[in-house]
Amino acid sequence: MAVGFWDDPEQAQAVMQQLAGLESDVKEWREIASRVEDLSELLELAEMEGEEDVIAEIASETDRLAQKLARMRVEVMLSGPHDSKDAILSIYAGAGGTESQDWAEMLLRMYLRWAERRGFEAEIIDQMEGDEAGVKNATVEIRGRNVFGYLRSERGVHRLVRISPFDNAHRRHTSFALVEVIPDVADDIEIEINPDDIRVDVFKASGHGGQNVQKNSTAIRVTHLPTGLVVSCQNERSQAQNRERAMAVLKARLYDLEAQKQEEEQAKLRGEHVTAGWGNQIRSYVLHPYRMVKDLRTEWETGNTTAVLDGEIDGLIQAYLEYMVGKN
């Protein structure tokens, strides 16, 4: 270690965690290379001896290695400056009332199921229930290795076409929801927020259906007046904890806002068309008159809409990462 390495314990700990991750990656790649070599030799012997059972077993093991290799190949593509970070994911129902609010809740479930399948930790830190069903908006913290790198593919407008369960005439409806994903970089950045630039409101945390889950006003809503950004947090038990968490999310959003401005300026200088906000539709989920999920950027599609809505979105994520590698 360099002299003075531990003078800043937090920075040193972050470097050690990064080093541990890299060492784990190298070990995993070496294990695959060694296993491929072993299987190659074993296959050669099995074919010479005509051992069909062994050949079949080798084929199964090869398939498992191929799946593992595909996963690791995706991780190699996660080379962005914040790809290794945790993520703060927010979902906002579009215009359309109950239809869009129900769609927003379907997306919320999809991402929670994806996180569960991946072994990531997911925690809803704020949620506003819909008037009749679904949610108007929700914010989730998802923690784990490379979470932001995976989920940055989800930023944009998601469109649903289906026969409405809320329409007695059984007509087809189109609903929209906006997904926002930012890296959780609050501990890594220095952003000074002028106390005069924020308004803090307190209110009672509410559960599903609007019932109050606490008698005291512990939930916090922070409004950043210069930008209009609003962050709410009602998951913690104390007002102080909710305020601290809301401020951390606000810092991350201010950082992301500035990063987006810089990206848009660079795109304009390159002569590229820049579309932001609700116009940026990225994916369609069609449940009627046929079943199809299609990403409009990568052209990746599948007819297994049930699996996708149950959190199996790795195919969509991988296609996006490959698309971005080719684009750059």
The predicted-structure confidence for 116-157, as pLDDT tens digits, reads as follows 999 999 999 999 999 899 999 999 999 998 999 999 999 999
Residue 211 clears pLDDT 50, i.e. is over it: no
Task: Kindly tell me the number of DSSP H helices and DSSP E strands found in the chain.
Answer: 7, 11
Q: Which residue has the higher pLDDT, 204 or 230?
A: 230
Question: Domain 87-189+278-327: which CATH class?
Answer: alpha beta
What distances in angstroms separate CA 161 from CA 21, 91, 100, 262, one per listed residue? Answer: 41, 18, 11, 34
Residues near 213 by beta carbon (within 8 Å), at least 6 away in sequence: 205, 206, 207
Number of other CB atoms surrounding residue 102 within 10 Å: 24
pLDDT at 291 over 50: yes
Kindly report which listed range (27-36, 64-73, 160-169) carries the lowest average pLDDT score.
64-73
As its CATH architecture, domain 195-268 has 2-Layer Sandwich (3.30)
pLDDT in tens, 255-265: 988 888 887 77
Confidence check: pLDDT of 70 > 80? no
Task: Tell me what the mean pLDDT of segment 308-318 comes to.
Answer: 95
Taking all residues of the chain, what is their mean pLDDT, rounded to a whole number? 86
Q: What would the mean pLDDT of 65-71 be, rounded to a whole number?
A: 79
pLDDT in tens, 16-64: 877 777 787 788 878 888 988 999 989 989 888 888 898 999 999 998 8
- Give residue 263's pLDDT: 78
pLDDT of residue 213: 42
User: What's the rounded Cα separation, in Å, for the pair 71 and 73?
Assistant: 5
Q: How far is CA 319 from CA 72, 286, 294, in A?
A: 14, 19, 11
Instruction: For residue 218, name the pLDDT band (cuts at 50, 70, 90).
Output: confident
> Would the pLDDT of 215 be above 70?
no
Confidence band for 109, pLDDT divided at 50, 70 and 90: very high
How far are the Cα atoms of 197, 220, 234, 250, 284 from residue 243, in angstroms, in the given order? Answer: 15, 6, 9, 10, 36
**What's the pLDDT score for residue 276?**
44
Per the model's pLDDT, the better-predicted residue between 67 and 158 turns out to be 158
Do the strands 281-286 and 156-163 form a parallel or antiparallel pair, or are they unpaired?
A: parallel
